[in-house]
Amino acid sequence: MKAGLLDLEAERLSGELVSAATPQPATPAALTGVIAQLIRRFPASKETVGVAFPTVVKNGKIRTAANIDPAWLGVDGAALVRKEVGRPVLFLNDADAAGFAEVRWGAGRDVKGTIIMVTLGTGIGTALFVDGKLFPNTELGHMEIRGVEAEKYASAHVRTALGLDWPAWIERVNVYLGYMQALFWPDMFILGGAVSERFDEYAPLLRSEAQIRRAHFAGQAGVIGAALAVLG
């Protein structure tokens, strides 16, 4: 779990990210306690806190639990953290948060048309933007590809688990991007997640009718975007 303070004038984080281990099990009570600890490591403030979470979030409530403890289902995460820290809180999908950072300040800045942010990590997260406006909670990592969920076919975790080299893994990513192209006809894909830091190694293998860019903020995108989402 990571947290940071946003510097609006500089359009970047103020200082370094702070982190804490995710508790096991990551129940609402346990996770809320760690989130509160991270928040308290920054100067006291009345400002709203943005929290990026790997789930569909509707009106503050957690609606899916593909990669989190199922005890979160139906929980109002924003209300839970707000009660703990005494500050306004906004919960949003983690890929949507990363997309906010990239579309507003990063690789998709000033780009018109349709942009799809794809985060490749333990799963596959997506964020869909049209002329800078977000269509939230797309969860396109769960679409079916060749009989399996996309994130069980082409995520960075799958690459590690199966011991795939770059060509073998990127061929799977290309298949995934091809499905997305056929459905949405985006003008640009932005690829994020930790694996984006090695973009130059596999970029020549990528194929798409849409332009493909590396995420500018890499591992900081979710934190920056969560803060930016607070601004609307």
Tens digit of each residue's pLDDT (9 = 90 or more) over 76-115: 999 999 999 999 999 999 999 999 999 999 999 999 999 9
* CATH H superfamily, domain 111-216: ATPase, nucleotide binding domain (3.30.420.40)
Predicted TM-score of the model (pTM): 0.94
Give the domain 2-95+222-230 fold.
Nucleotidyltransferase; domain 5 (3.30.420)
pLDDT tens sequence across 159-175: 999 999 999 999 999 99
- Residue among 216, 231, 225 at smallest CA distance from 93: 225
Query: Domain-by-domain residue ranges, the chain?
Result: 2-95+222-230, 111-216
